[in-house]
Amino acid sequence: MTVETAAGATPPEPELVQLLTPEGQRVPHERYDALIADVTGDDVRSMYRDLVLGRRVDGEAVALQRQGELGLWASLLGQEAAQVGSARALRGQDHVFPTYREHAVALCRGVDPLHLLALFRGVDQGGWDTVESNFHLYTIVIGAQTLHATGYAMGIQRDGAIGTGDPGRDAAVIAYFGDGATSQGDVNEAFIWASVTNAPVVFFCQNNQWAISEPLERQTRVPLYRRAAGFGFPGVRVDGNDVLACLAVTREALQRARDGEGPTLVEAFTYRMGAHTTTDDPTRYRLNAELEHWKLKDPIERVKAYMVRGDLADQAFFDGVDEEAEELAVHLRAACRALPDPTPTSIFDHVYVEPTPHLVEQREAMATYLDSFAEEVAR
């Protein structure tokens, strides 16, 4: 049954998958309860740790940028549950194509956060091992990674690494992007390619309500997850501040992909608590009342309340996680400031596995040019 709405009318509120209320109360869900039935108290404690460490790394990076140690930083504040929940749904053989904000996903995939700081410090172009982690390099061009992810998923499909029934072989790809990216041509082209090829990819949209200073209503007239239907694959909206719901929904979507059932669009409905990046001033375009409203839905406090309700942790545990987070922040601050500046010619070192003659020629020309300055000073 189709519900017609007049032009300009607000459409019906879409279903929001939620397993934990903002107060930390577990609510049953007929479809998704089974997908987290294996989650133990240890798993919840581990996810809580990831949430806290992710937020602390993010906070330290913001401080480092404010003090001139980083050129820029894109904060994840408020989006920790969307990232940790979805990342915990991944298997080792799955691949991740991030934007520039998936710091907690990187942590879950075993990427040293110092590599993230090095990128934003400008001393390298992404130094982590993407083969070891299956966590690909950050993408600054808005939405471009969705095409990369779709192409990689098509490769997995052609390698026969889906639909075999072997949980150690069947693989999927997840592409992260924000609500603003859904207005980019690349994202819509990726949707088309994924749909017509039935590619094993999950499009994970972190709808944080703001595309820099543009609100959600300037991006779409309908809930984002409903766009999937127009491309011919399922879409689902999940409470992006609920780590258990994000885990369950992403598990289902990834398994569909691994089984050869094609793409899914997951819209994680969350909120960007901080600035778009450290060059942005959100007080110029949004009200403080909106921010205060979303503070009541804080993803970390939600899990903490759930753990306290269920006697899953005591104060000693919470204190221990906070202490670990502070130790990590101290380590990252010192390590970041100690990162050596690269030599100008090092930009040529990692373009190809083996340097080409043309690349060697360019490197030598730059070295000669730089040496000329030293000769000038010597005179």
Q: Where are the domains of the chain?
A: 20-338, 346-378
pLDDT of residue 41 exceeding 90, the answer is: yes
pLDDT of 3? 36
pLDDT bracket for residue 99 (50, 70, 90): very high
Domain 20-338: assigned CATH number: 3.40.50.970
pLDDT of residue 22 exceeding 50, the answer is: yes
- Whole-angstrom Cα distance, residue 45 to residue 110? 18
User: How does strand 95-97 pair with strand 210-211?
Assistant: unpaired
Q: Which residues are catalytic?
A: 272, 276, 285
6 vs 182, more confident:
182
- Whole-angstrom Cα distance, residue 152 to residue 284? 40
pLDDT of residue 82 exceeding 70, the answer is: yes
- Whole-angstrom Cα distance, residue 240 to residue 290? 17
pLDDT of residue 368 exceeding 50, the answer is: yes
- CB atoms closer than 10 angstroms to residue 271: 22
- pLDDT 10s digits, 309-342: 999 999 999 999 999 999 999 999 999 999 999 9
For residue 252, the one-letter residue type is: E
For residue 46, give the nearest of 249, 321, 309, 327 by alpha carbon.
321
Tokens matching residue 289 = 């009342």
Q: Which one-letter DSSP state was computed for residue 222?
A: S
Tokens matching residue 338 = 């100690």
Chain-centre distance of CA 28, in angstroms? 27
**What counts of helices (H) and strands (E) characterise the chain?**
13, 7
What is the mean predicted confidence (pLDDT) over 167-175? 97
- Whole-angstrom Cα distance, residue 248 to residue 17? 9
What is the mean predicted confidence (pLDDT) over 115-132? 94
Q: What are phi and psi of 7, to 5 degrees?
A: -55, 130
Token pair 């410090």 is found at 121
- Whole-angstrom Cα distance, residue 200 to residue 206? 19
- Whole-angstrom Cα distance, residue 1 to residue 155? 38
pLDDT of 9? 40
Q: What are phi and psi of 236, to 5 degrees?
A: -145, 140
pLDDT over 70 for what percent of the chain?
95
pLDDT of 183? 95
pLDDT bracket for residue 219 (50, 70, 90): confident
- Whole-angstrom Cα distance, residue 200 to residue 157? 7
Token pair 């401080």 is found at 63
Handedness of CA 131, 132, 138, 143 (dihedral sign): positive
pLDDT of residue 44 exceeding 70, the answer is: yes
User: How does strand 210-211 pair with strand 214-215?
Assistant: antiparallel
Instruction: Report the mean per-residue pLDDT for the chain.
Output: 94
- Whole-angstrom Cα distance, residue 297 to residue 282? 19
For residue 175, give the nearest of 190, 161, 189 by alpha carbon.
190
Helix (H) or strand (E) holding 251: helix 243-258
